[in-house]
Structure 1
């Protein structure tokens, strides 16, 4: 296949969407497909390569540290007339993705898309319906939309989204493994008791009040517990004030991230708006028991009290109680962690990416998608 892959985010950005996009593109290229990557320009000197088109970026209102691609529809139409792809895959729904969808529709090229977040439209009574209508119109004018879980598929279907294909995410069990546990790192953390780990952005949308409450309760029951926070964000000041003994590692990747996971004793995942939650499988592959709300990757892969602990979404008291119980019970952590590792080993990226590839093939086979209609102007 000749695939045009459009994404608003790309490494070195440290988020699940960027890392998943890089993995998909790498898989397709290794399988012999020609992949034209279209992504935002990361810096002034970033010109990409012969298989990459970079576009100018703009900042997102109220998110100064986030930049997305500018719309370049006319440029893509000219480019794709000269070298037509078999299918266009739009991984993000921003201006760049919108313009790519429009360009593909204008040239009658099959389009597929990703919806990788939970459907919790922000903005209140005025903005939320407008955002919902935009997203529904965007995705319903693509041949199919890949979603991360059955839960998200159900939410979107109720809102009128069509042609949904569930395609989860996997985990690299070579990169994430109990093998990377480091006693020297634990000594550096001054870890005498259990190490409670959080990996993710330090921001309000991650429901970090539950994490703060859980750790405060853990310290009452187990004063030697230590909190390690991997990531950055606007709530770092709050954690520094309320958890002055916490370890702040900042953004980590590669072997340092692997060692952090494996050297901890449990992971707390308080988010209520995760489309999937890659950290769940990364922690499980590293031998950590996870406490999470029963949604996303946790709902797919955790069996309560078998290989982790899940609680009813939104029940913060239950989340705190579960976190305290796990922190105070080393045999329970060992039992759940060992089972979690076995579960993660069965969550192969290869199977997921092969299914994704086959769906692209199926859409290439269609003679025309004109009946689906044009993307919203």
Structure 2
């Protein structure tokens, strides 16, 4: 199976989303599948030398005030990479910015998509920005609502999703 993993973060980033995306890619390779990762560009061009599969990097900028986090910019590379890989499935790892583009591309290309809710982005907005929680939930509802399946890593995450109209 050809799976495109679209992630907001991938090694060399060190965080839960990056780790889970990497482990998902490794697992798919071990099972004989053909994954492709789409992730924000990082400053180090050799960052993907040890990746278990090809990685397509899209233009990104450092998040203001938190430079180690890179935010992907809108790019046609997302749809082009999904189409070129001839994806059977698009796996959206913690979709928010890049995941929105990938979900739109998957819909246009008629490729099924799975969205994984693994980061409380609305909570981050509330805690670190002081605003934007409702906007974050609207965006999450749009992405997860368009996906063929939403995965949640815990009962607490599932309850959070359900409380905000995502099933």
Shift in Å, 1:145: 1.4
Question: Map of 1:1-377 to 2, 5 A cutoff?
Answer: 1-46=1-46, 48=48, 51-72=54-75, 74-118=76-120, 120=123, 122=126, 127-162=132-167
SS at match of 2:132: helix
| Distance in structure 2 (CA, Å) of the matches to 1:102 and 1:46 | 29
Q: 1:152 to 1:44 in 2, by over 3 A?
A: closer
- 1:172-199 deviation per Cα after TM superposition (whole angstroms, max 9, x unaligned): xxxxxxxxxxxxxxxxxxxxxxxxxxxx
Q: Which has the larger share of strand?
A: 2
Structure 2: runs of 5 or more not aligned: none
Aligned-residue CA RMSD (Å): 2.2
Superposition deviation, residue 56 in structure 1: 1.7
CA separation of 1:16/1:96 partners in 2, compared to 1, >3 Å: closer, same or farther?
same
CA distance in structure 2 between the partners assigned to 1:10 and 1:78 by the alignment: 20
Identify if the C-alpha distance between structure 1 residues 9 and 77 changes in structure 2 by more than 3 Å, giving closer, same or farther: closer
- What SS class does the counterpart of residue 67 from structure 2 fall into? strand
Distance 1:39 1:161, change over 3 A: same
Kindly state the Cα deviation for residue 44 of structure 1 after the two structures are TM-superposed.
Answer: 5.0
- 1:90 aligned counterpart, secondary structure: strand
**Cα deviation, residue 83, structure 1:** 3.7
Instruction: Look at both structures and tell me which one has the larger radius of gyration over its CA atoms.
Output: 1
**Secondary structure of residue in 2 paired with 1:14:** coil
28-37 or 137-146: which moved more?
137-146
The structure whose RCO (Cα within 8 Å, separation 6+) is larger is 2
Q: Using a 3 Å threshold, how does the CA distance of structure 1 residues 10 and 140 change in structure 2: closer, same or farther?
A: same
**Contact in 2 for aligned 1:41/1:47 (Cα 8 Å):** no
Distance in 2 (CA, whole Å) between partners of 1:110 and 1:36 is 15
Q: What are the superposed Cα offsets for residues 122-160 of structure 1, whole Å, 9 maximum, x if unpaired?
A: 155x62222211111111110111112111111211210
Give the 3-state SS of the residue equivalent to 1:6 in structure 2.
strand
TM-score w.r.t. length of structure 2? 0.84
Counterpart CA distance in 2 for 1:90 and 1:129 is 21
Mapped partners of 1:40, 1:46: distance in 2: 14
Alignment size in residue pairs: 160
Change (3 A) 1:137 1:94: closer
- Separation of aligned partners in 2, 1:134 and 1:82: 27
- Cα shift at 1:107: 0.7
Q: Offset of 1:47 from its aligned partner?
A: 7.7
